Amino acid sequence: MVVRWLWGGVLALFCTVAGAVEAPATPAVIHLAGEDWEGYTAADGRGLAWDVLRQIFEPAGVKLDIRTEPYTRSVGLARRGEVDACVGSYRDEARDLHYPRWNFDNDHIYALGLAGSPVPTPQTLGNYRLAWVRGYGYESYLPNVHSYNEVIRRTGILSMLIQHRADYYIDGLTEIDYVVSQAEDPSQFRRTHIAELPLYLCFAKTPRAEQLMALFDQRMELLVKNGELKPIFERWKQPYPFELD
């Protein structure tokens, strides 16, 4: 009887030690890559997205390490495991990466065209020649899209529209506003809202990143339930994407 009790104690101790070995501590830093967008994911660490992500991770003991890169390079860095996640991806947009259950924001998608052009709708977009930045893959998220051109950078968008080489440029509102701000006469152009697309972190396929993704979903579940993220969106004067029924 005593021997059996001793063996039981040894087995329990072994299981406890084994469990501790199998459950490594959550990383103290999350390495993130994203584009440089003023007021959202600025290179200096300011912006709505950075503030939201800080509120998700830092109270759980995980600091943000920010790396500013173009979107396609951010995805590549995550695929190679050089960062834990890229910021601002659409659901399942990037292959070979993990997507969490929760998005952290919505992308407000607009069509930018000349002020005198017809007002586009999601149903009529397929009738027009569209343009967007390479890698964004809007053809997978917008209905009836047939004719589109992928551009390398946004610097030539306004001249493309003025010279009628495209009817509408598709992008998120932050990016559209930046493009219009470069115009000599912004009144030449009109923005039209066409879709809301959830924005995600896309995580690397590494044990470390998988731990951080699990933490992200746990924290989002809590923060949406208690409304703790809402003041951040209000401070940046942006729509709150997590209204509960």
pTM here is 0.80
Nearest to 25 by CA among 203, 217, 223, 207: 207
With vertex at residue 148, the alpha carbon angle to CA 147 and CA 149, rounded to the nearest 5 degrees, is 140
Nearest to 232 by CA among 108, 50, 65: 50
Which DSSP string corresponds to 120-142? P-TTTGGGS-EEEETT--GGGTS
Local confidence pLDDT in tens for the 245 residues of the chain: 444 444 444 444 444 444 445 567 889 999 999 999 889 999 999 999 999 999 999 999 999 999 999 988 999 999 999 999 999 999 988 889 999 999 999 999 999 999 999 999 999 999 999 999 987 889 988 988 988 999 988 889 999 999 999 999 999 998 899 999 999 999 999 999 999 999 999 999 999 999 999 999 999 999 999 999 999 999 999 999 997 65
In three-state secondary structure terms, 42 is coil
In three-state secondary structure terms, 34 is strand
Query: Residue 231: enclosing H or E segment and its boundaries?
Result: helix 230-235
In three-state secondary structure terms, 111 is strand
Residue 198: predicted pLDDT:
96
Residue recorded with tokens 């968008």: 157
Contact 78, 56 (CB under 8 A): no
- Domains defined along the chain, listed by start: 27-105+198-235 (3.40.190.10), 107-196 (3.40.190.10)
In three-state secondary structure terms, 61 is coil
- Residue 117: DSSP 8-state: S
